[in-house]
Amino acid sequence: MLDEKALRMLIQDVVPGLDVDALGADTLFDETSIDSLDHASILLALQERYQIIVPDEDISHVNSIRGILDYVASRRPR
């Protein structure tokens, strides 16, 4: 299951050197040192580890920790 702690660990794995503990849940990735390649790598890691596929048209919605968690929650079967 993907929760905030697991997501922060995934981001840390993908972007070594980033202080994920200091990264606010609502902070947009492009306001940090996370560039577009890092963002794509985060989404690829989500796909590989959690089978979460984000279509191109939804990428703008998954540009923060909260954005990713909200997106995943909205796609989870009820």
Q: With 70 as the cut, is the pLDDT of residue 10 above it? A: yes
For residue 19, the 8-state DSSP code is -
Of the candidates 70, 41, 45, which has an alpha carbon nearest to the alpha carbon of residue 58?
A: 70
State mean pLDDT over 8-36. Answer: 96
- Structure tokens belonging to residue 30: 């492009």
pLDDT grade, residue 66 (50/70/90)?
Answer: very high
Structural domains of the chain in order of their starting residue, each with its CATH number: 4-75 (1.10.1200.10)
pTM of the model: 0.92
Q: With 90 as the cut, is the pLDDT of residue 55 above it? A: yes
pLDDT grade, residue 15 (50/70/90)?
Answer: very high
Which region among 3-7, 9-13, 27-31, 71-75 has the lowest average model confidence (pLDDT)? Answer: 71-75
Q: Which residues does 15 contact at the CB level (< 8 Å), separation at least 6? A: 33, 34, 38, 41, 42
Q: Are 56 and 47 within 8 A, CB to CB?
A: no
